[in-house]
Amino acid sequence: MRKREKQAEDADGGETALNHKSIRWKILVPLFIGFFVMAAAFIVISYVEFQEFTISDCVDYAKGLCGLIADEMDAEHIDDYLKQGRAYPGYDDIEKKLYKLRAAYPDIQFLYVYQIREDGCHVVFDLDTDEVPAAKPGALIPFDEAYRQYIPDLLAGKEVPSIVSRDSYGYLLTIYNPIFNAAGECKCYVGVDYSMDLLTNYVLRIMQQILLLFAIVVAVIIVVSVIMTNRGVVKPMNRLENRAYRDTLTGLMNRTAYYESVQHIDDRIRNGTAHFSLLMIDVNFLKKVNDTYGHDNGNVYLKKAAEMISAAFGAEHLYRIGGDEFVVVSEGEGQNRLESRIDEFRAAVKRTQADDSLKPWERVSAAVGAASFRDGEDQCAEDVLRRADKAMYADKIAMKAERRD
Shared domain check, 53 and 170? yes
Q: Does the pLDDT at position 275 exceed 80? A: yes
Confirm whether 1 is domain-assigned.
no
Pairing relation of β-strands 163-167 and 276-283? unpaired
Identify whether 107 is part of a domain: yes
The count of C-alpha atoms lying within 13 angstroms of the C-alpha of 129, restricted to the half-sphere facing its C-beta, is 14
Enumerate the H helices of 193-337 as residue ranges.
Answer: 196-230, 255-271, 286-293, 295-313
pLDDT of residue 174: 87
- For residues 250 and 304, give the distance between their C-alpha atoms in angstroms, rounded to a whole number: 9
pLDDT tens track for 113-147: 999 999 999 999 999 988 889 999 999 999 888 88
pLDDT at 403: 64
The predicted pLDDT at position 229 comes to 62
For 134-183, write each residue's pLDDT tens digit: 999 999 999 888 888 999 999 999 989 888 877 777 788 888 889 999 89
Check which CATH number belongs to the domain holding 307 and give it: 3.30.70.270
Domain boundary among 187, 212, 239: 239
Q: What's the whole-number mean pLDDT along residues 54-75?
A: 78
Domain region containing 68: 15-239
Confidence of residue 24 (pLDDT cuts 50, 70, 90): low
6 within some domain? no
Residues 138 and 277 placed together within one structural domain of the fold: no
Domain's final residue, options 214, 239, 264:
239
| CATH code for the domain in which residue 133 is found | 3.30.450.20
What pLDDT score does 279 carry?
96
Query: For all residues of the chain together, what is the average pLDDT?
Result: 82
Q: What is the pLDDT of residue 14?
A: 44
Q: Where does the pLDDT of residue 33 fall: very low under 50, low under 70, confident under 90, or very high at 90 and above? A: confident
Share above pLDDT 90 across residues of the chain, in percent, rounded to a whole number? 46
* Closest to 400 measured CA to CA, from 16, 93, 11, 108: 108
**Rounded-to-integer distance, Cα 28 and Cα 291, Å:** 38
Mean pLDDT for 93-104 is 89
- Pair 285, 330 in one domain: yes
Domain count, the chain: 2
Among candidate residues 239, 271, 306, the one where a domain is terminated: 239
CA 396, CA 212: separation in Å to the nearest integer? 31
What pLDDT is recorded for position 58? 75
Tens-digit pLDDT profile for residues 343-356:
999 999 999 988 98
Is residue 185 included in any domain, yes or no? yes
Distance (Å, whole) CA 311 – CA 352: 14
Residues 227 and 311 in one domain: no
pLDDT tens digit string along 219-247?
A: 787 777 666 666 654 444 333 333 468 88
75 and 25 in a common domain? yes
Residue 296: pLDDT band by 50, 70, 90 thresholds?
very high
